[in-house]
Structures are given as C-alpha cells and as structure tokens.
Amino acid sequence: MALRLTKKDKEKLQKINNSVRAKKNRLKNNYNVDSTIEPLKISDITSRTQLNNYYEEAREFVRGYGNKYRKNKYGFVARQVDINKAKYQVERANKERARRLQALKDEEFKTRGKSTGFTALDRFLMGDSRYSSYEPIKFDFNTIRNQKHFDKRLANIIYSSSPEYFNKKNETLKDNILSAIASNWGNLGLEAFKFISSLTPDEVARYYETEDVFNFEIFGSPSGLGDVNKNIEYFYQTFGLGDYHEAWRFRYLLWWGWFIYEMLYCRLWNYYR
C-alpha cells in the first residue's frame, strides 16, 4: 500500500526528482556515463523509511564528490575522486624520492677518489643524469588516452614509491655495469668485474652516485683503444684493484702467443706437410 504524502512531502520529492533527472542527463550527455538511480514515483513509496533512504541516496548522487567527472582532450572520462587518488599517489611517491635524495646531501662527490668540493645533492641540482630516478614524478590527466592507460599509469606511480622499485633499480644498475665491463673491457676488466660482483646492489648505487669514474662513460663503448686503457687505469687506481698494466701485459703476451702459433706453427706445418 502506497504511503500517504503531505503536500510538503510531494513538493520536496518533486524537487529532488528533478535534480536527479538533471544530473543523470548531464552525466549522459557530457560524459556518456549511465547512472543506476531512478526518480522515485509516489505510487512506489510504501514507508517513510524508504522515502528517507531515497532522499539520502539522491542527495549523495546529486552533490556527492564520487559523482563528479572530468573529460580530457582524448575523450577519456574519469571520476574526479580517482584522479585525486592518482595525484595523492604522485605526492606520496615524490615525498619518498625527496627523502632519498636528501640522504645524498652529506655524501661527498669524488673524482678518482679525490674531493670535488661538491656533494651528490649538488650534482643532482646541476642536472647530472645519474640521479634521474630522484626526479619528481608528474601526472597530467590530459595525457591519458583510456582506462587501461590510466590504470597502468596509476600502478606505475604506486610502484615507483615502493622499496621494491629502488631495489630493482639498483639490481638493474649492477647488472648493466657488469655487462658493460664484460663487453668493453674484456680480460682487462677482470679485477673490476670481480670487485663490482662482490658489492651489493645498494653499494653499487652509492658508488655510482658519489664517484665520477663509476659511470657508463667509463664502462661504455670507448672511441678508441687509448680511451679504454685510460678508463680502466683510472678505475683500477681509484679502487685499488692492483696494477692494470699487468693485465695489459698478460693480454699482450696472449696476442703474441696466438700470432706465433698461427704464423709460425700452423702455416709452416701446412707448408711442409
């Protein structure tokens, strides 16, 4: 049996129903968002509790923050509350990056083991690319193309403030340095390879952030043989890895041994047999 409503109740219900219809139309027309709430008919009201619950639901729908939306230049629509969650995670990630960066303010930056007069934080402020992982994260809703892109971006932001992110970053740094030494220094870099292998990923990262010769310009592909010899020598001297020239002489003797074997033994054997 329908509840008997006063004139005041009917006027109030009509006003709220009009607001619900208007909000539903705006969401559909502007954002293509369908809403499940429907205006309440007088004939469907069976109790005062039902009516009050509808009033509460309708007010939340019309005025509630969870039903505010934004559309960007790609036509992607998201709730404002979800956009704000992403902004919160950006702020959280940047606070963690800033905290880790501040830990470098007292770390002296050296070149070949000698002071440069700068701290690692000074080098960051100068724009040194080795500190790029401490750069603040930016989030621009207008660059998001679809829901999948939004979800992935948010997941990456959350991950970038986690200890797992920095642990993985340091592990990858160590692996890349070892690969560069193996590829570009060969046998001459054996002691360097052993030394870096013995370090933890965090120790590798700290050397990378505080010592000039601990970088990919030294480990990377040289422009000539003279460059690679100089780079290895600098590295060996800085970290006390012994006499680099001994490794060079060993390589030199190996080359001559191969040459003598190839030219004198193999070719003479083929000539006289």
Q: Where are the alpha helices (DSSP H) in 34-125?
A: 48-63, 80-102, 120-125
pLDDT, residue 187, reads 79
Least confident interval from 77-81, 162-166, 249-253: 249-253
Angle at CA of residue 244, ends 217 and 209, nearest 5°:
35
For all residues of the chain together, what is the average pLDDT?
84
Q: String of b and e for 211-227 (b: at least 16 CB within 10 Å)?
A: bbbbbeebbeebeeeee
Nearest Cα to 247, choosing from 266, 228, 264?
A: 228
Mean pLDDT over 241-270 rounds to 55
Higher pLDDT, 268 or 145: 145
Residue 155: pLDDT band (50, 70, 90) is very high
pLDDT, residue 82, reads 93
Of the chain, the percentage scoring pLDDT greater than 90 comes to 44
User: For the segment 61-101, what is each residue's pLDDT rounded down to a tens digit?
Assistant: 888 777 889 999 999 999 999 999 999 999 999 999 999 88
Give the distance, in angstroms, between the CA of residue 201 and the centroid of all CA atoms in the same chain.
17
Question: pTM, whole model, 2 decimals?
Answer: 0.70
Q: Is 249 helix (H, G, I), strand (E, B) or coil?
A: helix
**CA 189, CA 191: separation in Å to the nearest integer?**
6
Q: Is 109 helix (H, G, I), strand (E, B) or coil?
A: strand
User: For the segment 211-222, what is each residue's pLDDT rounded down to a tens digit?
Assistant: 988 988 888 755
pLDDT, residue 186, reads 80
Whether 224 shows a pLDDT value over 50: the answer reads no
User: For the segment 15-63, what is each residue's pLDDT rounded down to a tens digit?
Assistant: 999 999 999 898 889 888 888 889 988 888 888 898 899 889 999 888 8
Q: What is the CA radius of gyration of the chain?
A: 34
**CA 244, CA 230: separation in Å to the nearest integer?**
10
pLDDT, residue 211, reads 92
Whether 189 shows a pLDDT value over 60: the answer reads yes
Whether 137 shows a pLDDT value over 50: the answer reads yes
Q: Are 128 and 104 a contacting pair, CB within 8 Å? A: no
Give the distance, in angstroms, between the CA of residue 222 and the centroid of all CA atoms in the same chain.
29
Report how far apart, in Å, the C-alpha atoms of 100 and of each of 23, 45, 121, 163, 170 are.
Answer: 46, 60, 10, 11, 13
Residue 266: pLDDT band (50, 70, 90) is low
Angle at CA of residue 216, ends 245 and 127, nearest 5°:
135
Structure tokens belonging to residue 116? 């440069």
